[in-house]
Structure 1
């Protein structure tokens, strides 16, 4: 379903072998967050989504884990607002990262935000991850 959707959005998308439920559960446990259902469904079909020029439209489950842990280390805590209330899942190619906000009980909202690495702002860009991919590839999202 999702692979076909993304093929319809852009012919430049490349896909990978699916992630497993166990891999997703491990990331959720490690990050103390429940990933949005749409992201889980996408990862179960393609463990990451690349666009034109190999841009990481949606990171693999390993990239999601590694990048989120990296942004929660002491260096970033000293220079930016906390990131433990965000789950990063993609990069813009210019340093900004796309993310989901984590609510009080650990559930992620479906809304997609972009974190600006220059001024530490967080701005809403899409209501869901599928809209984010569609709008990002069609140039609707401007950052």
Structure 2
């Protein structure tokens, strides 16, 4: 399902091999919370998606764990930004902004974190909408 949606939106998107059950369980263990259902199912089909200009539209399970743990543990970030615990980053735009699910409270919507302003704005109605928008438009579609 997810592979078809991705390739329909962008025929030359790069899809990684499926994530292992161990990788998914490891990410959830590091994060201390389950991955959103749609994201977990996508990662089971392809453990990462590259879009326009080799942008990491969806990170691998391992990178999701690593990046989120790093953001949440950084003392420097704690001084500069609002807390990251409510967010679960899973992809980026290649320029520093990152896409996330809100985990507290649980939401299926996708939000974008602006690395320059620490702004957190709604971007898409879930993962499928996010994939269509980001793979069909190589620009800053979430700002329109």
Conserved in 1, the CA contact under 8 Å of 2:99 and 2:110? yes
Structure 1 stretches of 4+ moved >6 Å: none
Query: Equivalent residue for 2:28?
Result: 28
The equivalent of 1:56 in structure 2 is 56
Cα offset, 1:44, TM superposition: 0.2
Q: CA deviation at 1:133?
A: 1.2
Q: How does 1:1-143 map to 2 (within 5 A)?
A: 1-72=1-72, 73-103=74-104, 108-139=106-137, 140-142=141-143
String of CA shifts for 1:1-26, please: whole Å, max 9, x gaps: 21111111111211111112222122
1:39-82 Cα shifts (integer Å, max 9, x gaps): 00110010000112211010011111111112111111111011
TM-score for both structures, normalised by structure 2: 0.90
Write 1 or 2 for the structure with the bigger share of helix.
Answer: 2
TM-score normalised by structure 1 residue count: 0.91
Q: Any unmatched runs of 5+ in structure 1?
A: none
| Aligned equivalents of 1:138, 1:14: Cα separation in 2 | 14
Cα RMSD (Å): 1.4
Matches of 2:84 and 2:142, distance apart in 1: 22
